[in-house]
Amino acid sequence: MRRWRILLATLAAAVTAATMGALAAPGAAQADANVVGGTRAAQGEFPFMVRLSMGCGGALYSPNLVLTAAHCVSGTGTNTSITATLGVVDLNSTSKITRKSNYVYRAPGYNGNGKDWALIRLSSPVTTLATLPIATTTAYDSGTFTIAGWGAATEGGGQQRYLLKATVPFVSDATCNSSSMYNGEIIASNEICAGYASGGTDTCQGDSGGPMFRRDASNAWVQVGIVSWGDGCARPNRPGVYTQVSYFASAIASAAASLGG
């Protein structure tokens, strides 16, 4: 059940990446501007947001590393095929920063079930943008989270030209795994759910790999999740499912160190 959903999501991401030329027109996105159920982010509001050319999101982890989802990449090794776009909410902006990848590190043991994280190394560092620190304890794995991305604004909809944002509440593993929600499909140890029981606000296809984040005790942004999967988008009783970053924090940090970032 879970697997085909992820497969579908990956296919959808591939298709949307192929059709990135047909971005939603500036005016069109406004009427029901969403991640799903969201609004436009201001230029500079989330400086760490990254758009990846395969049709995923990411977050700038260090000047030369982007944290994304494992299901957005094909494996570990040299990879010069990905273009990262940074520093803009408008993907068509002439002030955008772009970098090619030179290496991808996918979570060891990733098999489509959990462990949905990967690091992409950029060909040269981006030193003008703030990075997004990851949560290293479970202290921030609750509360209200911010989500953002250039993915679909409605289930089955097109990719967006402008970065959209929304906030969603934490959903406990017990609730998320209950029979009215994902009925045991959530890997409680390393996935975290967020969304309204009534639906309406969510990440969607093309947001994958992007961060879910909140403010820490010092009012700084901290990344708690990576957009991973969901049953459709913004459906009632189907919260978004995110990689629980705190669980993988030390694995991510050692991988980053090994990549020189």
Interface with ligand ARG by CB under 6 A: which range of 80-88, 133-141, 201-209, 246-254? 201-209
Give the number of other CB atoms < 10 A from CB of residue 40: 17
* Residue 27 CB contacts under 8 Å (≥ 6 apart), including other chains: none
Contact present, 222 and 214 (Cβ < 8 Å): yes
Catalytic residue among 62, 101, 116, 228: 116
CB of 207 to ligand ARG, least distance (A): 5
Catalytic residue among 62, 101, 208, 246: 208
CB of 217 to ligand ARG, least distance (A): 27
Question: What are the phi and psi torsion angles at 90 (to 5°)?
Answer: -95, 110
202 is a contact residue toward ligand ARG (CB under 6 A): yes
Contact present, 154 and 32 (Cβ < 8 Å): yes
9 is a contact residue toward ligand ARG (CB under 6 A): yes
Q: Which residue number, 79 or 203, has a Cβ lying nearer to ligand ARG? A: 203
Q: Where are the alpha helices (DSSP H) in 159-259?
A: 173-176, 245-258
Exposed (0-12), middle (13-18) or buried (19+): which is 254, by Cβ within 10 Å?
A: exposed
13 is a contact residue toward ligand ARG (CB under 6 A): yes
- The residues that are catalytic are 71, 116, 208
- Chain residues that interact with ligand ARG, rule: CB under 6 A: 9, 13, 151, 202-208, 227, 229-230, 233, 240
